[in-house]
Copies of this chain bind each other. A is one copy, B any other.
Amino acid sequence: MSNIYGKNIKISIFGQSHSPAIGVTVDGLPSGFAIDFDELRSFMQRRAPGQASYATSRIEADEPEFISGLVDGITCGAPLTAIIRNNDIRSSDYDNIRDVPRPSHADYTAYVKYGEAHDVRGGGAFSGRMTAPLCIAGGICLQLLKREGIFVTAHIIQIGNKKTEEQMISAIEEAKKAGDSLGGIVECAATGLPAGIGAPMFEGMENRIASIIFGIPAIKGIEFGNGFSAADLKGSQNNDAFIFEQVGQGDIKTRTNNHGGILGGITSGMPLIFRVAIKPTPSIAMEQDSVSLSEMKPVKLKIEGRHDPCIVPRAVPCVEAAAAIAIYDALLD
C-alpha cells in the first residue's frame, strides 16, 4: 500500500524518524548478485546529514544491517531486508508539535488521518529520514543497472533562484543565518537505456517515475524532457526528428531530445531526462502562525531544534535512488 512500490520488484519501506529502526524490504531482486557494499555506503553518505557546514548537525551513522536476503553478501533470491537503527534521538525537541502543527509540514494532515495516536516525533513516517531506506533499495538498483550499462545521475540546477554553485552556497548560508530555508530544482538523467522499456497508459515511464518520486517529501513537481517549457513551443520546434546515430547508419536516434527519452510512455533510446521541484524546507527558525489543536485557538509557533536550511543537496541521491528503482523495475517487464 502506501509504503510499497513496484511491479516486478517490490520495495516496502517502514519506520518512523524516532522508532527503534527504519528499513526496507526489496522483493524480486535477482539471485546471485554481489552487492558492492562500499559503493552502497558511499552512495548513502551523499544523502546523510551533517556533511556541510550549513546542514543539520544531527549525526546519523545510517549503517544498514542486512537481516535477510543475503548469503555471504550475495543475494539469494529471498526478499532482502535492511534496517538502520535510530540512535541519536532527542524526542524532547518535538514536544510542542503534538499540539501545534508546523506550517507546511504533515503534522496536521497526519493528525486528521491517524488521530491522536500518530507519531509526531521528528515527523514520524513523514520524515525525510525515510529516504534513507529508499536509498538502500535505490543504491542496489543503481548497481544492477550499471551492470546493464545504464547510469542514473542527478544534479542540482537551481537553488532558490540561483544557478551557479557559488551563488547557491552563499544563498544557503544566508538562509541559514536568517533562520529561513530554500528549495530548488534537481535534474536527473538515465543514459544507456535501451529503446522499448515501459508501456502506454498507466505504466508509462512518466507514470512509474512520478509515482515513486512523489514519495520523496518536499517534491512538488516533475517534468520530462522539455516539460512545462514545451507549452511555449510549436510542434515544429518541439518535435524530435528521427535520425541515424551516424550519417546513414547505426541505431535510430533523435536529433534533439525534447521528449526526454520517452514517447508514448516507452523509452526511445535517448537519455531519459526529468526535473523535479523541491519546495523550501518548511522547518524554519522564524516565528510562524499556527493553531493549537487542543485549545482550538491561534498561536505563534517557533520551531526549536536542528534543521537543514536546504535539503536539495541531500535530495539528489534520493532522486537517483527513486529513478533507479523505477527504471530497474520497468526493465524487468
Contacts and interface: CB of A to CB of B under 8 A. Distances in A.
Given A3-B25, A20-B65, A211 B221 contact: no
B214 A204 contact: yes
A230 interface: yes
Interface string A228-264: 1111111111111111100011001011001110111
A201 B3 contact: yes
A151 B19 CA distance: 31
A67 B12 contact: no
A279 interface: yes
Interface in A289-308: 289-291, 296-298
A220 B239 contact: no
B117 A234 contact: no
Contact of A104 (B114, B244, B263, B289): B263
Contacts of A103: 239-242, 254
Contact of A106 (B9, B125, B264): B264
- The copy count of this chain in the complex is 4
Nearest to A309: B235
A179 B76 CA distance: 31
B230 A78 contact: no
A278 B235 CA distance: 11
B124 A235 contact: no
A49 interface: no
A113 interface: yes
B15 A77 contact: no
A207 B211 contact: yes
Nearest to A28: B1
Contacts of A27: 1-4, 12, 14
Contact of A222 (B175, B210, B215, B231): B210
Interface of A: 1-5, 7-10, 12-16, 19-23, 25, 27-28, 31-32, 65-71, 74-81, 83, 101, 103-106, 108-110, 112-119, 121, 124-126, 130, 158-161, 175, 180-185, 195-196, 198-204, 206-208, 210-212, 214-215, 217, 219-244, 248-249, 252, 254-255, 258-260, 262-269, 277-284, 286, 288-291, 296-298
11 contacts: A2-B28, A14-B27, A14-B67, A112-B266, A113-B199, A161-B232, A181-B234, A183-B238, A244-B298, A248-B298, A259-B279
